[in-house]
Structure 1
Amino acid sequence: MSWVEPAGVLVVQHAPHEGPYAIGTALAAAGLPVRVCRTWAGDPVPESPTGLAALVVMGGPTAAYEDFAGRSAELALLRSALEAEVPVLGVCLGAQLLAMAAGGAARPGGGQQIGWEEVRTTSAAPADPLFVEVPERLRVLHWHGDPVDLPAGATVLASCDRYRAQAFRIGASAWGLRFHLEADKAAVDAFAAAFPDEAATAPDLRESAPAELAALAPHRDSVFERFAALVASRATATTTRAFFTPRAANWEERFAADGPRYAAAVARMELRPGQRVLDVGCGSGRALPALRTEVGDEGVVLGADLTPAMLTAAAEKGRTGLLLADACRLPLPARSLDGVFSAGLVDHVPDPEAALREWARVTALGGVLLLFHPSGRAERAARHGRPLDPADLLAEENLRPALDATGWDMTCYEDAGHHFLARAVRRTG
């Protein structure tokens, strides 16, 4: 479900010379729009990751444990991104902030590590989505100090004798890099010009850069190309989760008055005791009690949603049979259901016909599909200040052929003032 159009990747940049470099090149090559938040120039840090396909937080001249403009906002944004499973890449200072946002710590000590030095990948690297083909030993550009204490459950991907956590992953989609894997020639020149005293501690820094970068480039580029591909492949799911995660706890309370409408819609499915039914895109599970009433204790009621926080909210209300799943790739056998209920979902998925076809796949011949919304099309359009769109999938002249092409026969269509309802039956012939 894509309720917010992806706004691309947000890059938080703390200093003019600390740009994304090779990261930006990979994101652009993948067709991902990039927006830079220049905190050094006073750009405000967004309050939430809503609309973001990914978040990249770059390095800077301060430490994560020091106070600097935007620090609290960045930590809050990172926490929200982690909760909503938005892909994150933190570099140098960004890696420190990522670790802190996840419950770890950054602390002074150890001294600066500057120049071209080797890191060693760990046994976890070959199974990592980004580090899968990185060699066991890799020379990279270091320009950092201060140890990082990783949170519980973090996976170390690369290390060296001086600092253990050189690269790490938190959860399934957040990575921290202490070293500057993004470096290209422009980056080396910019760093050396910005910090000449520090650059002087590595006398061959610029002279050796061409050879070092030539050896590094294939591995650098492959890591960031994989990150960009991961971001692009998950963009719709990411923006959906980012939108719903902060709203999940209060979602049902916001629409409590819709409960009777949901129950009335479920009754129109004409389910029987003992049948098996799925609420796809169930959210907090508002329809699940009504579905249970229809099929009885001997029936099976499932609720599938893409956002873990929504399923958590449903579970807290005592609702069971919950699946974390993509509406277009359900983890169910063919013809295993007698009915599918879907409220406000089909016109928000990236490929509605693929969704309708998938729902047909898991529905037995003669089974029922009910598409519902507690507001009619005209009411919703007016609420958003726009006219009815003739290309709207839910317009009868568009929905009927879409259902027919995906294995459904529409038996009822109602676009009323205070609800939308379309009922279809899985074609038997």
Structure 2
Amino acid sequence: MIQIVEHAPQEGPYAIGTALEAAGLPMRVCRAWAGDRVPEMVDDLVGLVVMGGPMAAYDDFPSRTAELALLRAALEAEIPVLGVCLGAQLLAVAAGGTAKRGNGAQIGWSDVRMSAAAPVDPLFATVPDRLRVLHWHSDTMDLPAEAALLASCDSYPVQAFRIGRSAWGLQFHLEVDEAAVEAFARAFPEEAATAPGLLESAPAELAALARHRDDVCKRFAAFVAGRAEQTATRAFFTRRAATWESRFADDGPRYAAAVERMGLLPGQRVLDLGCGTGLALPALRAQVGETGVVVGVDLTPAMLTAAMREGRDTQAQLLLADAARLPLPTGAVHGVFNAGLINHVRDPAAALREWARVTAPEGVLLLFHPSGRAERAARHGRPLDPDDPMAEEHLRPALRAAGWHLDRYEDAPHHFLARAIRGHE
């Protein structure tokens, strides 16, 4: 779901919404101007768009606190964000910057200059060095140190920027079409009067802008769509990372007992895929010894941060990566451990093939969960799923097709364990 936050009825997503719809991405609109409640959590979001409005990001308007909290949660979970005008200023504040009054109002059509970072940016890579856009603001912002400036002009140096790898702010209104320009002028006639010829020149200005406007909006939509699976996983686990260790600390001995069944040797290399806070990492280190290599892989930065708080980075190398697309050479490891991960990957068969690719012949795969399948189903108040990929009738042929031989399968009341051996090519 893409969450759109609006602050004024005339300041909708326009071309942004068109691109998101064309990409098949469902949208949900929070009309803060009408009193809609800003969502408190990002668990179901794959993207967030925060639009402009007449209020100031440094003033305490009714939805400001909730919006900043939503933006901070989106940044932590690396949910793609696009902030426009007021939305860009709020994004800067959420990331640790400040919003402030500008040097007079900037309203009407004028150029912005792309920075050296723009040609390698996922959204701005094809935008020309100068782009003529619609401005409608009198506030600006100071960016946090880690932000990448993408566009500027003399009177307002911060015109476009990126925070991290997936959040963008646009001070100008790239999203507009003729209907938007007319709506802005009707809503703010005194401001429109300071830009003579604003409406009359709109068709020609928009004709020149349209190709670049649509390209940036389509790139954002494609970015959101391409990362949707990863974003959903990160959104779900980020909020839970802070309490994950305390919730499952009692499972430590079960993880250790499961790792013991892998039969790894000193000096070997092993992965813990979807390691979370790293409950299995001490046991894996004990098996391969000081000369071995242990790598904990997780897709959620907050989980790896929690693992570091627990000191697990002293027992293993921690790697931020997609477990279904590992940045490792073929045959790099002797063992793969994962606890419950296969139920969270989009394509279990493809994941099993990827894990086989990085595992040397005769290497071991251990799929583990500290609860049996029936126990988990009962806990969630549902019957056993006949399509569960962990059911033996599904798992055995899937493993065989991926290059594994299942040599042990235990679906016990209080644990699940499947052990497989990597075959020879």
TM-score when scaled to structure 1? 0.96
Paired residues of 2:102 and 2:156 also in contact (CA < 8 A): no
Match 1:58 to one of 24, 29, 51: 51
Q: 1:237 aligns with which of 223, 230, 235?
A: 230
Matched, 1:282 2:275: yes
Matched, 1:393 2:386: no
Deviations 1:346-365 (A, max 9, x none): 12111111111111011111
CA-CA distance at 1:69 after TM superposition: 1.2
Structure 2 counterpart of 1:247: 240
Q: Which of 185, 190, 204 does residue 183 from structure 2 map onto? A: 190
User: SS of the counterpart of 2:112?
Assistant: strand
* Cα shift at 1:158: 1.1
Q: Deviations over 1:111-159 (max 9, x none)?
A: 2111111111112111111111101111111111112111112121111
Which residue of 149, 167, 170 corresponds with 1:177? Answer: 170
Question: What is the 5 A alignment of 1:26-425?
Answer: 26-319=19-312, 320-425=316-421
Write out the 4+ residue segments of structure 1 that deviate beyond 3 Å after TM superposition. Answer: none
Contact 2:353 2:402 survives alignment (8 Å): yes
Q: Is the 8 A contact 2:324 2:351 kept in 1?
A: yes
1:67-110: per-residue Cα shift (whole Å, max 9, x none)?
Answer: 11110011111111111111111000001101111111111241
| Equivalent position amino acid for 1:314 in 2 | A
8 Å CA contact 2:100, 2:139 repeated in 1:
yes
Alignment partners' CA distance in 1, 2:167 and 2:377:
37
Identity level (%): 73
1:229 partner amino acid: A
Matched position secondary structure for 2:101 = coil
Q: Which residue of 2 aligns with 1:5?
A: none
TM-superposed CA distance for 1:246, in Å, is 2.6
**CA shift digits 1:29-52 (9 cap, x unpaired):** 111111111111111111122221
Local SS of the residue matching 1:364: strand
Alignment RMSD (CA, Å): 1.2
Distance in 1 separating the partners of 2:362 and 2:380: 37
Counterpart residue identity of residue 106, structure 1: A
Q: Please give the per-residue CA displacement for 1:391-413, whole angstroms capped at 9, x wherever unaligned.
A: 11111111111111100011111
Deviations 1:336-375, CA, capped at 9 Å, x for gaps: 2111001000121111111111110111111110101111
Give the Cα separation in 2 of the matches to 1:282 and 1:201: 58
5+ unaligned residues in a row in structure 2: which ranges?
Answer: none
Runs (5+) with no aligned partner, structure 1: 1-7
Question: Secondary structure of the residue that 2:246 maps to in structure 1?
Answer: helix
TM-score (norm 2): 0.97
Which stretch shows the higher mean deviation, 115-124 or 94-103?
A: 115-124
For 1:255, the aligned partner's letter is: F
Question: Partners in 2 of 1:331 and 1:177 — Cα distance?
Answer: 33
SS of 2:213 mapped into structure 1: helix
Secondary structure, in 3 states, of the residue corresponding to 2:149? Answer: strand
Give the Cα separation in 1 of the matches to 2:292 and 2:192. Answer: 70
How many correspondences in the alignment?
Answer: 422
Output the CA distance in 1 between the equivalents of 2:183 and 2:110.
19
* SS at structure 2 position matched to 1:354: helix
Q: Structure 1: how far apart are the matches of 2:194 and 2:5?
A: 28
Cα distance between partner residues in 2 of 1:251 and 1:18: 40
Shift of 1:247: 2.1
CA offset at residue 256 of structure 1?
1.4
